[in-house]
Structure 1
């Protein structure tokens, strides 16, 4: 449900030279929008609408920008004013309203406005997008009774959200119970009620409500994410791992769901998965709130995208200067990094534990310079790898088998070659360490560092559907195409 600028229309007003008219601010707002400076765009468009409140093109573009920042209700208010103006003739407003209702979880209304757009513009600019939205709604729709008063529901939903955010939990619980009684299949209210109980300390009641949601609305993503958070705070480690694996395989279409997944993964310390979804939204121009940039900054920092982390944190401080001092790279960040390391080091698979050891070798924090006595290693390879990492950290000379040193250096080579590439992530390094484990078991020679690294990256990127050729990889790692092809064959054998 990608947002779009208004297409193929010109405002009816004329430019008056040297005077800052509504059109002057409209053009500035549109330019800022195209440059993805959404806050600046909103400011200029609001001024344009203030100067010329009956110009529908100005109002519609402002509504699109409000959708970008998540103010769906105000966006629909503006769009409704255009629809009610019989002279406006802007059927695209129906499509934009359908999008907004989908974001709000009001799928019945979303479908109604999508149908209204297609009735008026079956071959319009947004016809294909609208049909995709309708396909999505067929999967996502909650089956509301047609007698529901949508306006009343929206008002109550927003009131409940405000009560939650301001900590008035008892009032929030009362209002959410009232919403559920009137709209027994409005799952968003159940999820918020569970959060209200959780924040008030009644974890058992919160979990009971989420279980009810998942029984009646199987696969409800918000309920699954909230369940994961509850399990995390209850330190039910095994259940956290199991549910994380389940959520890891989900690929939602709705922006709201991608945001929810990213923030949830960030909260439980799975910064690799958090970065995947939050960076995906960020690349596509999503302008989030303080919470979005907070988790984007943390997930970027702990996946070695330091410049992005710093830029995202600037956004956090713009919204909330009180956050100064809680940057991920300061003392609180060290705590988070320790938690991340422990999670990898206690992973279920050998490649996860080896990756944890590699990460430990990359930190200069004195807090993390520890012997891995609390870690249970399951194989000689892990123990020798741990000894090598510990030796590197303590700058002590000691003899190690060549395959241990080579395995580490190949991991480091992949890391160095890809640390500034947003498309690379932990899965690349985990893929190599899985291959490495198999190579050691089968007595493969891993001394050709460049060839193994190049072959691993080539296979991984193709598996990720990245368009990359053997020629490009050969040039990146400065090896011949013949050598690369030979090691690609080895990698495929080991992965089988």
Structure 2
């Protein structure tokens, strides 16, 4: 066979064009759906509908995918379009709508469409499933002693209250939510929103009391736990924030709503690693969130090094709210940030807990990069201890100036410096040791301990820390390392252990 010229090959290729039809994308969407790649399935089906917008099968399959993604309202809009405008004989849409309304908690509507399906298609494919759904709806109604009409009215009131919250009409929201909680004393969602309303008006004690009431009667209520974490964070109750964050880290919710709540909450308190984990997971599953969702996704992505994801998410924020332009995470206008990251210690200066920020200042003192304490001095969210410690570090760079602050600031620094000197040259990763000391330092200052014996405090901190880390050590070894007596070490170890509640 002779060789073919480029022109011949090109002409042959042009004779066999590849036409991508709606059916082509529909089949790709089905394939992705069977693999549970819901995001890809949605994209393929949307493309199929662009090519053939009146195909009821394409619309119905996209609606099913949207249900699996938790977008129940969008799914119902598609089903309603099929029934009202394209093919009223596709009775299965009634069954799917009944299911969606049940997920939304609108039981009267669910009952309506389930009954409608049985009437129009008594021998249909989903008759048995519909009857099971109706049984569940009747049980739900009997358990709560609320008929469907009242149940739907309750949910609509809750939505109205939420809208009032979002638009800043706090007093009206409080009045409506108080009315709901009085009528339905176990409708926990209303209590959570009522707590938020009181928090926004500055009534923090009332807000916290409401959440405690919810958690006492409904332990494990995720919205209440997340709201409590936010309240503690803004009150700078760092130890409680840390404890509750650890609990929430271990939760793996199934519902999309709960995953979103966790992700947004972690973003708000600055735990961008955890926020990104949940928000990115939802995005990969095809969740099409609102402006708030993309706002926290952008921030969490940026501060975990996922720059392109952050940039794409921020585009969605600007589309929904152009006023946000200029508040990008890379603009330096980061919520509660102290400094722009430019040195290794800066990530600690931007930490969420006092021990992290104190450690960042200590690291700065060991670098060749002077740290300005202006941000700390002017930021009212941070404690006097942090501001004074920052002042001390600043003076350490400016040899001509004299630090005139309280002696416990210099002593606290000397303890950390002693830990640094006595562990210099080792290959151990001692970051947690320094963080442990600064956590203890904050507690010791709250209880007004003297820190004048800096070697003893350093030795006791290291001994207790290594013990907790299950590292082999002895009091004899530590006392010789810091050149103090074993009796002195034992005295200070008792104090440190009491603070750890060991």
- Gap change, CA 1:199 and 1:407, over 3 Å in 2: closer
Per-residue CA deviations over 1:312-349 (Å, capped at 9, x if unaligned) read 2222222222212212222223853659625467459x
1:79-90 correspondence to structure 2 within 5 Å:
79=79, 87-90=89-92
Matches of 2:292 and 2:155, distance apart in 1: 22
The equivalent of 1:257 in structure 2 is 258
Task: Give the match's secondary structure for 2:330.
Answer: coil
- Gap change, CA 1:89 and 1:274, over 3 Å in 2: same
Contact 1:63/1:79 (8 A) holds in 2: yes
The equivalent of 2:227 in structure 1 is 226
Matches of 1:142 and 1:261, distance apart in 2: 32
Contact 1:266/1:274 (8 A) holds in 2: yes
- Confirm whether residue 157 of structure 1 aligns to residue 158 of structure 2: yes
Per-residue CA deviations over 1:41-86 (Å, capped at 9, x if unaligned) read 898788789x64xx64354345446658865335335546768987
Matches of 1:284 and 1:378, distance apart in 2: 48
Contact 2:154/2:180 (8 A) holds in 1: yes
Contact 2:273/2:300 (8 A) holds in 1: yes
Contact 1:41/1:65 (8 A) holds in 2: no
Contact 1:45/1:62 (8 A) holds in 2: no
Contact 2:29/2:42 (8 A) holds in 1: no
Matches of 1:90 and 1:376, distance apart in 2: 75
Matches of 2:224 and 2:315, distance apart in 1: 31
Name which of 402, 423, 429 aligns with 2:425: 402
- Gap change, CA 1:330 and 1:201, over 3 Å in 2: same
Mark the runs of 5 or more structure 2 residues left unpaired by the alignment. Answer: 1-20, 340-345, 376-389, 397-408, 432-464, 475-502
Per-residue CA deviations over 1:88-119 (Å, capped at 9, x if unaligned) read 1427x6467536643x46699989999x99x9
- Gap change, CA 1:307 and 1:332, over 3 Å in 2: same
- Gap change, CA 1:24 and 1:330, over 3 Å in 2: same
- Confirm whether residue 325 of structure 1 aligns to residue 332 of structure 2: no
- Confirm whether residue 267 of structure 1 aligns to residue 290 of structure 2: no
Contact 1:345/1:375 (8 A) holds in 2: no
Matches of 1:111 and 1:168, distance apart in 2: 34
Alignment RMSD (CA, Å) = 5.7
Contact 1:190/1:210 (8 A) holds in 2: yes
The alpha-carbon deviation at position 215 of structure 1 amounts to 2.2
Per-residue CA deviations over 1:13-43 (Å, capped at 9, x if unaligned) read xxxxxxxx9x699969969998948998898
The equivalent of 2:209 in structure 1 is 208
Matches of 2:210 and 2:157, distance apart in 1: 19
The equivalent of 1:144 in structure 2 is 144
Task: Give the match's secondary structure for 1:235.
Answer: coil
Matches of 2:364 and 2:283, distance apart in 1: 26
- Confirm whether residue 294 of structure 1 aligns to residue 317 of structure 2: no
TM-score of the pair, normalised by structure 1: 0.55
The alpha-carbon deviation at position 255 of structure 1 amounts to 1.2
The alpha-carbon deviation at position 260 of structure 1 amounts to 0.4
- Gap change, CA 1:344 and 1:200, over 3 Å in 2: closer
The equivalent of 1:172 in structure 2 is 173
Name which of 348, 351, 357 aligns with 1:341: 348
Query: How many pairs are equivalent?
Result: 369
Per-residue CA deviations over 1:185-235 (Å, capped at 9, x if unaligned) read 322122112222222232233223222222222211001111111121222
The equivalent of 2:57 in structure 1 is 57
1:477-488 correspondence to structure 2 within 5 Å:
none
Structure possessing the higher radius of gyration over alpha carbons: 2
- Gap change, CA 1:122 and 1:56, over 3 Å in 2: closer
Matches of 1:166 and 1:45, distance apart in 2: 38
Task: Give the match's secondary structure for 1:402.
Answer: coil
1:364-403 correspondence to structure 2 within 5 Å:
371=393, 383=417, 401-403=424-426
Matches of 2:107 and 2:466, distance apart in 1: 43
Task: Give the match's secondary structure for 2:57.
Answer: helix
Per-residue CA deviations over 1:329-384 (Å, capped at 9, x if unaligned) read 22223853659625467459xxx99899889999999669974997997998x647
Matches of 1:38 and 1:146, distance apart in 2: 39
The equivalent of 2:192 in structure 1 is 191
The alpha-carbon deviation at position 302 of structure 1 amounts to 2.0
TM-score of the pair, normalised by structure 2: 0.55
The alpha-carbon deviation at position 266 of structure 1 amounts to 1.0
The equivalent of 1:462 in structure 2 is none
Matches of 1:357 and 1:96, distance apart in 2: 60
- Gap change, CA 1:361 and 1:63, over 3 Å in 2: farther
Per-residue CA deviations over 1:434-486 (Å, capped at 9, x if unaligned) read 99x777969xxxxxxxxxxxxxxxxxxxxxxxxxxxxxxxxxxxxxxxxxxxx
- Gap change, CA 1:236 and 1:59, over 3 Å in 2: same
The alpha-carbon deviation at position 262 of structure 1 amounts to 0.9
Deviates more, 1:171-180 or 1:330-339: 330-339
Contact 1:269/1:336 (8 A) holds in 2: no
The equivalent of 1:445 in structure 2 is none
Task: Give the match's secondary structure for 1:214.
Answer: helix
Contact 1:38/1:287 (8 A) holds in 2: no
